[in-house]
Amino acid sequence: MIENFAKLNTEQQNPNTLDIDRIPTEEMLIKINAEDRKVAEVVYQQIPAIAKLIDQAYACVENGGRILYVGAGTSGRLGILDASECPPTYGVSDQLVQGVIAGGTPAIFKAQEGAEDSKELAVEDLKERNLSSADMVIGLAASGRTPYVIGALEYANQIGAQTGSVCCVEHSELAKVAHYPVEVVTGAEVVTGSTRMKAGTAQKMVLNMISTCVMIKMGKVYHNLMVDVQPSNEKLIVRATRMIQQILEVDSQTASDLFEASGRSVKRAIVMHALHCDCDAAQEKIEQAKGVLANII
C-alpha cells in the first residue's frame, strides 16, 4: 500500500521547491505562484469531461433530483463551501446541492482523519439523506483513493443514482467507480503531499464550474446577472436593485419601487415592468418559462 501511495501524482516531491525552507519570503511566494499558475491549464484540459458531468448533473436536477458532493478533509470542506453558497446566490433550496463530509459537522472545523477510511460510514451518511436514483453523487478526493468517497459512489451506483468524481491524479480508483470522472492532474505540490494547495485550488475551480453552469441552465442567470439572488442583507438588496435598473434601463427610484412591489424578487420585477402585469401574473409567467427570463422578455 505504501508503494502504491508513493506513486500518486499528488505525493511526488517537487524538484522546483527543494530549497523552499531556505529562501526569503518573496522567493517562497514566487515559487508558490509559479505552481499555482499551472492549475488553470490542467483544468482547461479537462473541460470535455467536466461538461459531461455538468450536463448529467443538470439532467438530474431537472428531473427532481439533487447534487451531493462527498469528500473528506479539504475536499469535503470545498464541497460544503460550494453547496452552502448556492442558496443565497441563486435562490435554491439548501437541499438541492449538498455537501457531505467524512466525520460530519465536526470535520468541517477540525480534522477527523480516521473517518475517511470507512466505506460503511459513507453509506450510512447517504442513507440518512435518503439518497435515491434521481440524485447525482459527485465524489471529491485529491488522491482519488479515499475509501469513504469510493464507498459513497459504489452505494450510489448500486441504487441507480448517477455518479461523478473530481480527483487530482491519473487513472484513479475513484475514476473507475464514477460514471463521469474528472481527473485534473495538478502534480507535485510545493510542500509534498499538501493537497490543500494546487489540488485544492483545482477542485475549487471545477466545483465553481459545476454549480455555476447547472444554475445557469436552471435559469438562475440572465445575461451574466444572478437574477435569483436572495436579498438577505443590505449589499444584496443594493445589488438586486441595480440589476433591475440595468436590465430595464430605468432610474434608481423606479427600480427600487419595482423591487418592493415584486416582493423583493428581481425576476418578478423585471417581468412586471416588461409585460405590464402585476406580481402574481409575473410569477405565473416565470413558472411557465421554467424560470428562464430569456424565454419571457
Active-site annotation, residues: 85, 116
Within a 13 Å sphere around the CA of 194, how many CA atoms are in the beta-carbon half?
Answer: 9
Coil/strand/helix, residue 183:
strand
| Strand ranges across the sheet with 136-141 | 97-101, 67-71, 136-141, 162-167, 180-183
DSSP state of 125: H
Q: Which residues contact 164 (CB under 8 A, 6 or more apart)?
A: 53, 56, 57, 136, 137, 138, 139, 178, 179, 180, 181, 182
Structure-block grid coordinates of residue 194? 499538501
Distance, CA of 237 to CA of 232 (rounded, Å):
7
Alpha-carbon distance of 94 to 84, in angstroms, equals 7
CA 258, 244, 214, 74 torsion: positive or negative?
negative
Q: Based on C-alpha coordinates, what's the Rg of the chain?
A: 22
